[in-house]
Structure 1
Amino acid sequence: MQLSVNLIIVGLTVLVSWRAFNDRSLLERLLLWPPAVQRRHQYDRLLTYGFVHADWTHLLFNMITLWSFGSAVERVYSAWFSPLGYVLFYLSAIVVSILPTFIVQRNNPAYRSLGASGGVSAVLFAFILFAPWSTLIIFPLPIPIPAILFAVLYVGYSLWMDRRGGDNVNHSAHLWGAAYGVLLTLALQPRVLGHFLQSLTG
């Protein structure tokens, strides 16, 4: 029986985040702090920030979402390439989703960012391409909602909050992660677009 790489990613993220909750120096070394990347060339922070979280609520929300939808996306990517393909998809999404924020904030010593939300958004939106009418129940709200409707509401809310600001959530990373999940999946397998459109109208 093959061990799910998605489950390994979830477990690793929980372990690293838990350790960082109790080790401030570890947290500070792994989160995204632009001056450390810009001046000290600690480019690994563009990835490691996705393995630490602000608190248990932040961690559980991301990991429950990744666990719920990542296994399906992993099966598709593994069929196309290998389990390594899914790993590269997820890790690259973490990096790509934060790049626009890093460019804007690269000279801001007061800015910090952490959390797997960009990578999780990429996985969730790739899943929506495969099954747009599947029913999602997004923790912690026990309200079933069609995946495609959730996608529209999610993008609209993230755009609004990104413009509004003030809640200490990097909505830009959510949006770029979602866009990356859709665009990379379609670039790798353009036929998915036909499947998506047929599913919407079928």
Structure 2
Amino acid sequence: MDLSLVTIIIIAANVIVSYKGFGDYGFFERYKFNVGGIKRGEQIRMFSSGFLHADTMHLFLNMFTLYFFADTVIKELGNLHFIIIYICSLILGSLFSLFFHKDEYYYSAVGASGAVTGVLYSSILLDPTEPLYLMFIPIPIPGYIFGIGYLLYSIYGMKNRVGNIGHDAHFGGAAGGYLVTLILAPYLLQTSLSMVLLLAVPIIILYVMHKTGKL
């Protein structure tokens, strides 16, 4: 698979900023997602945290996932729309984290997971039957099955605080990728309406759970 220039630039930006953070504790603390910092007016954290990572494995997994899914979005929608989806997913992931942790002054997070998950969900929306191969499952999984399962697990993780993982950012990023892709490619509402509705199910479940106080 050939990497597009825009994907290379995004990966390079993540690597440069992350490695700066690895070696400079003050830089890392200044630009990570932190509820208290954001409430003090440091909104840059909503964006900058998406280029910082906890360690090299965290960075590698996010960039590896981006590598696999960016190409489909770029081929279908072009470089500019890909960048819009990436940034909107990053920001919406941060907004979800802020919303669900607004009363946790010391809550912090880093990582491109929201943006990358948005690209992943956009790719699935654009090509829902493309098979995905996961290391721990020996058979290919249709993209839409993986996407729905991923978001349902994110809801479970948000409700039960599973692991040291920003499930809310993942979900927010996926919702961002889904909504922005539909705005940029409204033809999907005609050509793939059933799939569009199916992929919306986890988003609707999250909304209902929040409204009914179950999340």
Tell me if both proteins adopt one fold, taking TM over 0.5 as the criterion: yes
Aligned to 2:155: 159
Per-residue Cα deviation, 1:38-71 (whole angstroms, up to 9, x for no partner)? 11x2211100000011112211111101011112
Aligned match of 2:165: 169
| Structure 1 position 114, deviation (Å) | 0.6
Q: TM-score, normalised by structure 1?
A: 0.86
RMSD of aligned residue pairs (Cα, Å): 2.1
Report the Cα distance in structure 1 between the residues aligned to 2:107 and 2:176, rounded to whole angstroms.
Answer: 23
**Hey, what does 2:76 align to over in structure 1?**
76
- Paired residues of 1:32 and 1:49 also in contact (CA < 8 A): yes
1:148 aligned to 2:144?
yes
- Residue in structure 1 matching 2:96, options 97, 100, 120: 100
Aligned residues: 193
Corresponding position: 1:64 with 2:64: yes
Select between 45-54 and 98-107 the one with higher mean Cα deviation.
98-107
Please give the per-residue CA displacement for 1:15-54, whole angstroms capped at 9, x wherever unaligned. 2112211211111111111222211x22111000000111
1:33 counterpart residue number? 34
**Distance in 2 between residues matched to 1:189 and 1:88, nearest whole Å:** 13
Following the alignment from structure 2 to structure 1, what is the Cα–Cα distance between the partners of residues 18 and 137?
Answer: 26
Match of 1:18 in 2: 19
Q: Aligned in 2, Cα 1:137/1:30: closer, same or farther, shift over 3 Å?
A: farther
d(CA) in 2 for partners of 1:65, 1:151: 13
Q: TM-score by structure 2 length?
A: 0.81
The secondary structure found in structure 2 opposite 1:151 is helix
| 1:9 aligned onto 2:10 | yes
CA contact (8 A) 2:88 2:177 kept: no
Tell me the alpha carbon deviations over residues 100-124 of structure 1, each in whole angstroms, 9 at most, x when there is no partner.
2213434533210111111111100
> How big is each residue's C-alpha offset from its partner over 1:57-103, in whole Å with a ceiling of 9 and x where there is no partner?
2111111010111122123222xxxx333222211211111112213
Aligned equivalents of 1:63 and 1:142: distance in 2?
21
Q: Any stretches of 5+ residues in structure 1 without a counterpart?
A: none
